Amino acid sequence: MRDPYSVLGVKRDAGAEEIKAAWRSRAKSVHPDQNREDPNANQRFAEIGRAYEVLKDPKKRNQYDQQRSKVEAMEREQTIMQQRESAREAARQAAEKAKAAKANAERIMAELAKAEAEKNRTEKVAQATAQAAAAQAKATQTQPPGQSSGASGAQSSGQAKAGPAGETPEEMVSRIFGDTPEAAAAAETLKRENESKAEKAEKADKTEKAEGTDAAAAAAAKPASIFAPVELISSLVRRLRGVQPAPEKAPDLHVEAIATIDDLLAQRSVPVTLADGRELRVPLSGVSEGHVVQLKAQGHKLPNMARGDVYATIRVQKDEKFRVDGFDIRTVLPITLENAVLGCDTQVETPAGPVDITIPAWSNSDQVISLEGQGLPDDAGGRGAVLVELRVKLWEKPDDKVTDLMRVMREGLFL
């Protein structure tokens, strides 16, 4: 069976008269006699009848509401468990990525240390080569023409290669970081920087030759292309360490808090029991039916995550005399026909006690008398009103005088 409230198209807090009116309207619109061409008319008409049988009986309706609340609580609990499992899986994956990133970072730091050592060694070799070249050039000046020295060979043999076994900067980045988009971007950056450095070095060579600068000393001053800026490598390390973080907060919990009209008027807190058995107090300051109160850090608690919140939806307990409408309180006052015609002074019951009111002459049913400032406290420091709906009622037993008067008014006076 579908939800009877949905079948009749009414809210869960609908009154008996509203449910009855909805049933009559739906039953009339889907009656098989009115829908002879609809093969599902009988089925829909029967469904509306079953829904009305459940909701018109207070006992059956209460049993259905309790069962539905249990099912909704189970569904929320199942959703929370699924969210919790997803959070655990995300945390596990994040831990694995963090572990891999840490190992990768340690390997990178080792590579950087190795590169730094290679740089220092190359600089020493370059300095020794420059000194040897300078001494050889000086000795050449004293030798007879036609004789040559091995300075150029020593210079070429002393220069550092681009890396271990002639490795280029791009190959070094790929070897350290693997074939990843970050590695490709870093390699491209290194390549552009090296090309820029090569162009500058070529211009410097031409300038040095034009000015007669010692070629060996200039060669020694050129940096080896393998040693890219440490900041670039460190930046790439930080990018590769950026694993997906674990969720910062546990899933929130949604519950319903049942409050009476007296609770709302007194603005006292009401208890609510969570699925894990804990009991919390929900404050009722400036709230009414359907409002949601947030209880921060009172929800689920999961490892390595901030505690979730509890969101309590306020539901007002049904009352025989009063009905909550926003921050207003509605009540019905029956009046007799003569008081409706002539008007009178009477009393009406309110949640705070009886209040004197005046019924204007010629008052109709459904006319509303507003008692301002006697409703529920709102969130702006004010209060709603008590709305008194008038209902004209006849006497329990027929009155001959009233019957004769109505007959005369309808048919006229005959002598």
Same domain, 102 and 211: yes
Which whole number is the average pLDDT over 112-129? Answer: 79
pLDDT above 70 for 39: yes
Q: Is the dihedral of CA 49, 52, 58, 61 positive or negative?
A: positive
Span 78-100, pLDDT tens digits: 877 787 787 778 778 878 887 88
Q: What mean pLDDT is reported for the chain?
A: 79
Higher pLDDT among residues 55 and 226, named by residue = 55
Question: What pLDDT was estimated at residue 217?
Answer: 47
Span 163-205, pLDDT tens digits: 455 556 556 656 665 555 655 665 666 667 667 766 776 776 6
Which whole number is the average pLDDT over 256-278? Answer: 93
Same domain, 303 and 370: no
Question: What pLDDT was estimated at residue 99?
Answer: 82
What does the alpha-carbon distance between residue 284 and residue 323 come to, in Å, rounded to a whole number? 17
Question: What pLDDT was estimated at residue 180?
Answer: 59
Higher pLDDT among residues 8 and 105, named by residue = 8
Same domain, 96 and 129: yes
Question: What pLDDT was estimated at residue 124?
Answer: 80
Same domain, 176 and 259: no
pLDDT above 90 for 250: no
Instruction: Give the structural domain span for 169.
Output: 85-240
Residue 360 DSSP label: P
156 class by beta-carbon count within 10 Å (0-12 exposed, 13-18 middle, 19+ buried): exposed
Which whole number is the average pLDDT over 313-341? Answer: 94
Percent of the chain with pLDDT over 70: 74
- Counting the structural domains of the chain, the total is 3
DSSP state string for 373-398: T-S-B-TTS-B--EEEEEEEE--SS-
Highest mean pLDDT among 63-77, 120-134, 160-174, 317-331: 317-331
Question: What pLDDT was estimated at residue 225?
Answer: 43
Same domain, 327 and 302: no
Band of pLDDT at residue 261, cut at 50, 70 and 90: very high
Q: Of 240, 264, 279, which residue constitutes the final position of a domain?
A: 240
Residue 363 DSSP label: P
Q: Are strands 279-282 and 344-350 parallel, antiparallel or unpaired?
A: unpaired
Which whole number is the average pLDDT over 62-68? Answer: 88
120 class by beta-carbon count within 10 Å (0-12 exposed, 13-18 middle, 19+ buried): exposed
Span 375-402, pLDDT tens digits: 999 989 999 999 999 999 988 888 888 8
Of 323, 325, 347, which is closest to residue 334 (Cα–Cα)? 347
DSSP state string for 83-135: HHHHHHHHHHHHHHHHHHHHHHHHHHHHHHHHHHHHHHHHHHHHHHHHHHHHH
Span 227-248, pLDDT tens digits: 444 445 555 555 555 544 545 7
Is 217 within 8 Å of 224 (Cβ atoms)?
no
Give me 151's structure tokens: 């300075």
Same domain, 225 and 329: no
Q: Of 280, 300, 317, which residue constitutes the final position of a domain?
A: 317
Same domain, 217 and 196: yes
Same domain, 202 and 326: no
